[in-house]
Amino acid sequence: LDGMFALVIFDEISGDWVAARDAFGIKPLFYSAKGEQVCIASEASVVAKYFQRPVCAQALTEWQLIRAPMPGYSFFQHVCEVDPGTSLNSDGLTVRFWEWLPSEQPFDQARFEETLRASVRSHEVGDVCNVSLVSGGLDSSVLTVLSSVERGYSVGIPGNNEFEGAREAADISKCELATVTLSGD
């Protein structure tokens, strides 16, 4: 599979299942087991509620330090996160199907740019018109410039926004930019 996903495939005849998460961990996937039962969901709170799992005090401490529980865990006791690029199955096997490996090839700027363009093109497939959320930062600016979007949005608050950088990216990509200023009201 290429792209972002979190999935569970269940065989109704055999009762076997497999769960997997995309290589970058873009889509979340959590699980917990109790006896022979396994609960898998895209939100840890759903799994916690199913098995009545309490909040994990250690995870709250981690959140204060790094704004997230440690990888592989959640905010609930005994509710685990499926690691990026990993699959689980009903036989109890965990398989890491994707990982970063050192490359033998030297860096090639042209190859990098074509790979990036191809990735952007593949993410533009859809049934509706694509738009861009342009923050003015490097990531959103590059994606906007490489995409075929005709309209972009930038959201900020008075005195704290990136409208100027967003306008630069929109001008380069020739897309219309709408800025949205949020207030306390």
The answer to whether 18 touches 9, Cβ cutoff 8 Å, is yes
Q: How far is CA 27 from the centre of its chain?
A: 4
In this prediction, residue 43 has a pLDDT band, given cuts at 50, 70 and 90, of very high
pTM, to two decimals = 0.66
Token pair 């401490």: residue: 61
Q: Which pLDDT value is given to residue 53?
A: 96
State mean pLDDT over 19-41.
Answer: 92
pLDDT tens per residue, range 54-71: 999 998 888 888 888 988
State mean pLDDT over 164-172.
Answer: 91
Buried (b) or exposed (e) across 76-104, using 16+ Cβ within 10 A? bbbbbbbbbbbbbeeeeeeeeebeeeeee
Q: Which pLDDT value is given to residue 67?
A: 85
Q: Which pLDDT value is given to residue 83?
A: 92
Residue 185 has pLDDT above 90, yes or no: no
Report the distance separating Cα 147 and Cα 115, nearest Å.
Answer: 13
The chain-wide mean pLDDT, for the chain, equals: 89
pLDDT tens per residue, range 115-167: 999 989 988 888 888 899 988 788 888 999 999 899 999 999 998 889 999 99
